[in-house]
Amino acid sequence: MPEMPPRVGLFVTCLVDLYRPAVGFAAVKLLEQAGCRVEVPLTQTCCGQPAYNSGDKADTKAIARQVIAAFETFDYVVVPSGSCGGMIRLHYPELFADEPAMFQRAQHLAQRTWELVSFLVDVMKCEQVAARYDGVATYHDACSGLRELGVKEQPRKLLQSVAGLRLSELPGAEVCCGFGGTFSVKYPQISDKMVGDKAADIAATGADTLLAGDMGCLLNMAGKLSRLGKEVRVRHIAEVLADMTGEVSPIGVGEALR
Amino acid sequence: MSEARAQIIQSIRRALKRDALNAEAERALADRLAEPKRNLIPARAARLDHRAQIDLFVRMSEEVQTTVARVSSAGAVPGAIADYLSQRNLPSRLVMTPDPQLDDVPWAERPMLEIRRGRAEDADQVGITACFAGIAETGTLMLTSGPESPTRNNFLPDTHIVVMRGEQVVASYEDGWTRLRQRRRAEGQSPMPRTVNFITGPSRTGDIEQRIELGAHGPRRLHIVLIDDAASA
Amino acid sequence: MQPTSHAFKANAEGALGNAHLQQALKLMRAGFPGRRAAAIARLPEFDDLRDEAKAIKDHVLANLDFYLEAFEKNVIAQGGQVHWCRTPQEACETVLAICRRLDAKTVTKGKTMIAEEIALNDYLEANGVTPIETDLGEYIIQIRKEYPSHIIAPAIHLVKEQVADSFRATHRELDPKRRLDEAPTLVAEARGVLRQKFLSADVGVTGANFCVAETGSTIIVTNEGNGDLTQTLTKAHIVLASLEKLVPTLEDASTILRVLARSATGQEFSAYTTVSTGPRRAEDSDGPGEFHVVFLDNGRSAMLGTEFQDMLRCIRCGACMNHCPVYASVGGHAYGWVYPGPMGAVLTPSLVGVDEAGHLPNASTFCGRCESVCPMRIPLPKMMRHWREREFEKKLSPATYRAGLGVWAFLAKNPPLYRLAANAAARVLATFGGARGRFRSLPLAAGWTQGRDMPAPQGRTFMSLWAARRKETGAS
């Protein structure tokens, strides 16, 4: 455990920034509760994944350079998303494989970049959170977090410690929800089929709440559940762990912020 | 054709950004082929003593719907086979390979078993063969082709009965290959027979709605009579 | 066969609406992943074996010229022949020449994807030789005049009623009143019909999972026994193999065999794993009189030394497509050619061109499940991304899509502009999303909102709220 409070740069992600600031504030609260000093570099925009997955390496590199410059001085960079976290941690070094100087910097940043829940458990050694949530929740393992960053047990560990919350394992938790960023735009019908299957699995658990660690997946699943008329509350796991569910309604429900 | 061959080899070398391997590199690779080395062998069978390997072989065989009868001597084999056939209401007319490994079984003691030694034909419903080895790791039989062990005898009859000895059970496929190479060298034969069959259970297919059905084209039934005598230990 | 990969989207749409197919895919989804997981749970060394298998293949690819020549030498030493074919046309001509020389009327076939790749059946038929598929799945699709939808389970897209209908339509000599509603009866009928074909065939064609350089042997991995009857009962055994099937020794083959069946079907070992070396020996009482290995390049050598080389490690187990959520939604025919699923998405553009097959590497969420189950540790999403890079360079994606991404990238590179745009978008969407907090329809997002609602954002961006909070507390 670090002696001085670790200086953490929050990479808030474009979807949290645009769609659901509550997740960003929940992340800040959790990090501060864990003993970190949190800063939010103002020049952050996007991690570059949409460009990367569309084969536009030039733009991806330009965006990545920005991110590296903005974040490389922090002790840690924490991201409330497995896919953006994976982009920085795994793909930034790959991007600069042919530029030794940038590669070093990317590598240096990558090694200190973490998805939020895995940071809390694996780095800050959190065993529990002080939170209450009355309900039966099921948890979807977002693909990048799961397969690129090894996020699997950590969210479950912390959810177990939430008072009043019962966890009902989602069959096919590891099966993709069909978002895939640009995929949901390029192949919307296939995406819709995949999220339809996911919604059926969610409904079968009988859970009243769906949680995950990635906004893209959450928007996708929330949109499908609401179209199907399913009464499932969809939230980012950070909101529950930070005990902030009273402050914002679930995704896709209720009133906008004034 | 040799133009195509030359072009393909050229294309490979161009892609790999080199010319042909130099003599030293070639020799190293040739040595690798001449003295094959084993890679990782799973501990499952390899760590067991031979007795336990035989037990594992039987268990793994039964898992894939092979039936196994253990007898204590060659003398008990005809009776075991007669019992097997009558229990299943199967014909007692059999084709048996001319394999010398089957010669010391006293077939004549069970005259109701009408045995023809030779190559299997379409009409043969039950066939008896020997085998080269049994691989304990996965309950797999290793059979080799030869003048006295035609390959079709393993496939044409509906029921395939294999008579084997405990000492034929080995841990791994690699043990099987080592034995085969040694045997063929010792007998002055070419390194490989025409066919080596690794058989793990009866013929099957999952091609219709993923449901496993036995007896697709090969035998519907695979039965092993294992002579588990003192020599097996 | 002519690729229809360019029509992937339309193919997929049809697939999504095909009730029989969806029923069949449901069965597939329920079966394969669990079986594989159970098999590898029983073998603690499985992951180490994957590493070894990968190392063996990488070594072979780096020395492919040597191993091909060594293999050829040993095939010839055993009395067999090796043919080298650059293109599908050369391979088809080679096979036909052998058939003609032997005056062959019928050719039984074990399952081989190479035969599909070169369209061998059509070629043989056009030249007066009758090919007979003997693998049950291949037989079913042959009589239905379809092509395979999966590389190890070719008829996986069908339900048993469809098979029964095809059998009734084809096996006209059998009693029309017979019942064909159960799988065992269907299998038994196929067995009976094909048995005679085996016994009377002139030439047998199989594929090869492996070509062993040490001994000049080819190996096939099957469950039915058809590949064995095909090669044992005929005058000639012809093996179709692409260049990358080489492995150095029998030990190396054994290592890779350990990960193959477990990854494919969850079996410990397939029912029949057969090692064939040369024609029958002089003293043998059965076996083919001739043994031919027909090597096909068709783009393989061109993949060496490129960012697609890793794809040559593929052992055709099918694990990737068994675990792919896109494949599980649309089935194999949507991909439009011989190789579907994730491995098809990477390989097909190499073999038929990215102009034709460009959709395939795009129709992926990069969930990574394929890579996680690949026994040969092939980085499939990474190579799909490489195809997307090639397409981007060639401007192959739709203009509107590229424009949209261009705008996004422009803004992302310009933080102050991005902030303005994001704030505006958040407000607008939140306002129109209203009290319900979601959109049932949204201009420019019709694809999404056709089947899903679009949640509305909270209305202010995090960055603007954070800046406001900082101002309040006087922090920087």
pLDDT band for B207, please (50, 70, 90 cuts).
Answer: confident
B96 bridge partner residues: B117, B128
Residue C254 has pLDDT above 70, yes or no: yes
Residues on chain C touching B40 (C-beta within 8 angstroms): 45, 48-49, 52, 255
Q: How far apart are CA A41 and CA C258, in angstroms?
A: 51
ipTM above 0.85, yes or no: yes
Structural domains present in chain C: 43-301 (3.40.50.10420), 414-473 (no CATH)
Contacts of C43 (CB under 8 A, 6+ apart): B42, B44, C49, C258, C262
Chain C: give the shortest CA distance to residue B116, in Å. Answer: 15
Q: CA-based angle B18:B23:B28, to the nearest 5?
A: 95
CB B40 within 8 A of CB C48: yes
Token pair of A256 as six digits: 């906008």
Domain map of chain A by residue range?
A: 7-122, 128-241
CA B226 vs CA A9, C6, C141, C274: distances in Å: 69, 57, 41, 23
Mind listing the pLDDT tens digit for each residue in A20-38?
Answer: 999 999 999 999 999 999 9
Chain B: give the shortest CA distance to residue C129, in Å. Answer: 23
Residue B231 has pLDDT above 70, yes or no: no
Residue given tokens 């909102």 in the structure block: C449
Mind listing the pLDDT tens digit for each residue in A207-255?
Answer: 999 999 999 999 999 999 999 999 999 999 999 999 999 999 999 886 5
Domain map of chain B by residue range?
A: 1-35, 42-232
Estimate the crossing angle of helix C19-41 against helix C250-264, to 10 degrees: 130
For residue C399, what pLDDT is reported? 87
pLDDT band for B233, please (50, 70, 90 cuts).
Answer: low
| Cβ distance of B8 and C243 shorter than 8 Å | yes
Residues on chain B touching C78 (C-beta within 8 angstroms): 190, 192
Mean pLDDT of chain C: 95
Pick the CATH number of A128-241 from 3.30.1540.20, 3.40.50.11810, 3.40.50.300, 3.40.50.1110: 3.40.50.11810
CB B21 within 8 A of CB C66: yes
Q: How far apart are CA C158 and CA C386, in angstroms?
A: 34
Chain centre to alpha carbon of residue C298: 16
* Nearest in space to C453 (alpha carbons), one of C436, C466, C476, C468: C436
Q: How far apart are CA B140 and CA B151, in angstroms?
A: 16
Token pair of A61 as six digits: 């590199």
For residue C431, what pLDDT is reported? 87
Residues on chain C touching B141 (C-beta within 8 angstroms): none
Pick the CATH number of B42-232 from 3.40.50.150, 2.60.120.260, 3.40.640.10, 3.40.50.10420: 3.40.50.10420
- Tell me which residue in C326, C413, C454 faces A63 most closely, judged by beta carbons: C413
* Residue A209: strand, helix, or coil: strand
Residue C444 has pLDDT above 50, yes or no: yes
Rounded to an integer, the average pLDDT of C68-90 is: 98
* Residue C293: strand, helix, or coil: strand
| pTM of this structure | 0.96
Please give the interface size between A and C, counted as residue pairs whose CB atoms are below 8 Å apart. Answer: 223
Rounded to an integer, the average pLDDT of A2-14 is: 90
For residue C443, what pLDDT is reported? 74
DSSP state of C283: T
* Nearest in space to C346 (alpha carbons), one of C370, C372, C375: C370
- A193-202, B59-68, C21-30, C70-79: the lowest-pLDDT one: C21-30
Do β-strands C236-242 and A163-167 pair in parallel, antiparallel, or remain unpaired? unpaired
Q: CA-based angle C291:C296:C301, to the nearest 5?
A: 140
If DSSP states are collapsed to H, E and C, what string results for A85-143?
A: HHHHHHHHHHHCCCCHHHHHHHHHHHHCEEEHHHHHHHHCCCCCCCCEEEEEEEECCCH
For residue A29, what pLDDT is reported? 98
Contacts of B95 (CB under 8 A, 6+ apart): B115, B116, B117, B118, B119, B120, B121, B124, B126, B127, B128, B153, B157
Residue given tokens 């504030």 in the structure block: A25
Q: CA-based angle C204:C206:C209, to the nearest 5?
A: 160
CA A128 vs CA A80, A120, A132: distances in Å: 18, 10, 12
The amino acid that residue A10 corresponds to is: L
For residue A258, what pLDDT is reported? 44
* Residue C238: strand, helix, or coil: strand
Residues on chain B touching C188 (C-beta within 8 angstroms): 215
Mind listing the pLDDT tens digit for each residue in C379-426?
Answer: 999 999 999 999 999 988 888 888 888 999 999 999 999 999 999 999
Q: What is the Cβ-side half-sphere exposure of residue C302, based on CA atoms within 13 angstroms?
A: 12
Chain A CA closest to residue C460: A257
- Tell me which residue in C190, C214, C272 faces B199 most closely, judged by beta carbons: C272
| Cβ distance of C454 and A193 shorter than 8 Å | no
